[in-house]
Amino acid sequence: MRVTIFGATGLLGKPLLRAWAQNSPGDEVIGLGSKDADLRDAAQVSAAVQRTRPDWIVLSAAYTDVDGCESNQEQAMEVNCHGAVRVAQAAKENGARLLFVSTDYVFDGSGTVPYETSHPRAPRSVYGRSKAEAEVQISQVLPDCCIVRTAWLFGPDGKCFPDTILKLAASKPKLEVVDDQRGSPTYAPDLAEAIRQLCQVGAKGIVHATNRGECSWFEFAREIVRSAGLSTPVLPTTSEKFVRPAPRPAYSVLSPKSLEAYAVTLPAWQDALARYLATRK
């Protein structure tokens, strides 16, 4: 199988390359960064797909600065929505399958039970709207595409929440972290392996993929500090005390049923955190 990965230099892109190298060494995988193919340029996208001739395209490239999207709405839509559609069109023209990485931000976060794939989209942020609209439009171009929604991504290949917490815990006498937002921390290498398996079995439609279990950001931070052997106190606080430009979903736990339907499961987030911390030592 030939695979082209857009966004191969990012937090998820690098683990995607490793997942294929380790577990599907017979596949031919080409990773592209923004310097290789700018999603804002249809000609570059088309040329990249024609050049690499993939059976599968994995689109993990995105403008992921959630707060930045609020003040750069045009860029958010151009990259996250229109750019995704350009990739879908190039995939269609070249007979390739597409797996698009999406987000829990397509929901409004008002739920209290894990979101199923059929739950209505109701994004509250520009980032969420850009991804939700991309889901709709690429599905119109490629009805057999696979859309993988994930949440709370962290990993060793880029800036992420555990990295920030560890740095703060080493420099501050105490930490205050919001306790009124719940989700499922997701380890990028685990998600990458799930994506590889989904491509191998020809998955289609919407799939929710996160590590098992749920917690608040406060509970996640407390476990990070504890597991790292640090003694910095971690205290709960509210979102009202940490107002951000983009509204965050209060509840963004995604149901694993759609992923399990393909016989793919991810470990618990605590297990994933332990492996992440091991990579830092």
Model confidence over 21-45: pLDDT tens digits? 999 999 999 999 999 999 999 999 9
CA angle 175, 176, 177 (to 5 degrees): 115
Mean pLDDT across 146-167: 97
Catalytic residue (choose from 105, 115, 127, 251):
127
Model confidence over 44-89: pLDDT tens digits? 999 999 999 999 999 999 999 999 999 999 999 999 999 999 999 9
C-alpha to C-alpha distance for 204 and 201, rounded to whole angstroms: 9
For the chain, how many residues are written? 281
Give me 234's structure tokens: 């971690």
Residues pairing with 57 in the sheet: 4, 98
Domain ranges of the chain: 2-155+186-212+253-267
C-alpha to C-alpha distance for 156 and 158, rounded to whole angstroms: 6
Scanning the structure block, which residue is given the tokens 């420099």?
171
Q: What is the DSSP letter of 77?
A: I
Please state which of the ranges 9-13, 72-76, 240-244 shows the lowest mean pLDDT: 240-244
Q: For the full predicted model, state whether its pTM sits above 0.85.
A: yes
Q: Determine whether 127 is an active site residue.
A: yes
Share of the chain above pLDDT 70, in %: 100
C-alpha to C-alpha distance for 101 and 209, rounded to whole angstroms: 10
Question: Angle, to 10 degrees, between the axis of helix 161-169 and the axis of helix 269-280?
Answer: 60
Question: Angle, to 10 degrees, between the axis of helix 84-93 and the axis of helix 126-141?
Answer: 10
pLDDT of 15 above 90: yes
Q: What is the DSSP letter of 238?
A: -
Scanning the structure block, which residue is given the tokens 């009805």?
143
Superfamily of 2-155+186-212+253-267 according to CATH: NAD(P)-binding Rossmann-like Domain (3.40.50.720)
Q: What is the DSSP letter of 115?
A: B
Model confidence over 123-133: pLDDT tens digits? 999 999 999 99
